[in-house]
Amino acid sequence: MAISFGIAKKIIDHPSYNFGLALPFVCAFYVLNVHDQITIPLLGLQLNTGISTVLNIFGVAIYYIMSLFMFVLAGAISKAVGESKGWLILVAFFALASLYSYLVQDHIPRVGVLFGALSVAYLLLVSLKMENGSLSLPLVALTGGALSLLSFVLGILWFDGHYLFTEAIATIFGLDTVASESLKIGAVMLITSGYVMFYAVFQTGELWND
């Protein structure tokens, strides 16, 4: 059951609400941990704190939306590969791009690592002749289910004051450290993110099994 916050049932039953449930908390968590003002490289113009915060919010929102889109899309890779083996080139590209981003780019969200790991796992299983026309679905379901459970558990522990894996969370968000004032919001973020991930797994199965 989705967290309703007293919102009408018609709204909370809509996929856009369920997919976006964690977004406000993810954005709030990020801006509480990023205090640097954004500088426009070519102009050398430093934006004020308010504008920098707004841009950070929209930047995180883009990462959030693209991550969910890519996750759901990953479930269809088996169908695409079944039609043309050329799609394996795109999977390999995701794996290499994720590795490059992780090694070279600092202080940006590292959500691409998930898709890089999924891509490598898929290519490995394909090389072992385990592609049966639907391999990507259980692979996405297993990964999403594990991440959902982990996020739920960490959120509950954070809510109770046990702040485990803060360094890992900081790395995922491209942060140096997690500020103490963001931990309570972080707990809600983790719980709602666990729900969104679970919902994404469910929707992915419903979509690509039809």
> What is the pLDDT, as a whole number, of residue 8?
65
CA distance linking residue 2 with residue 190, whole number of Å = 14
Q: 155 lies in a domain?
A: yes
User: In which domain, by residue range, is 45 found?
Assistant: 10-76+131-209
- The rounded Cα 202 to chain-centroid distance in angstroms is 16
Task: Reduce the DSSP state of residue 39 to 3 states and report it.
Answer: strand
CA distance linking residue 110 with residue 101, whole number of Å = 8
Q: 109 lies in a domain?
A: no
Q: 142 lies in a domain?
A: yes
Q: 44 lies in a domain?
A: yes
> What is the pLDDT, as a whole number, of residue 151?
96
> What is the pLDDT, as a whole number, of residue 48?
83
> What is the pLDDT, as a whole number, of residue 82?
87
Do 198 and 148 touch, CB atoms closer than 8 A?
Answer: yes
Q: 182 lies in a domain?
A: yes
Q: 180 lies in a domain?
A: yes
Do 45 and 173 touch, CB atoms closer than 8 A?
Answer: no
Dig out the tokens for 46 from the structure: 């430093």
CA distance linking residue 13 with residue 6, whole number of Å = 13
Spans of the chain below 50 pLDDT: 1
Q: 36 lies in a domain?
A: yes
This prediction has a pTM of 0.87
Dig out the tokens for 161 from the structure: 């004051």
> What is the pLDDT, as a whole number, of residue 50?
87
Do 68 and 200 touch, CB atoms closer than 8 A?
Answer: yes
Q: How many CB atoms lie within 10 A of CB 201?
A: 23
Q: 38 lies in a domain?
A: yes
- Pick the closest to residue 109 from 185, 170, 166, 155 (CA basis): 170
> What is the pLDDT, as a whole number, of residue 7?
64
> What is the pLDDT, as a whole number, of residue 5?
56
Task: Count how many domains the chain has.
Answer: 1
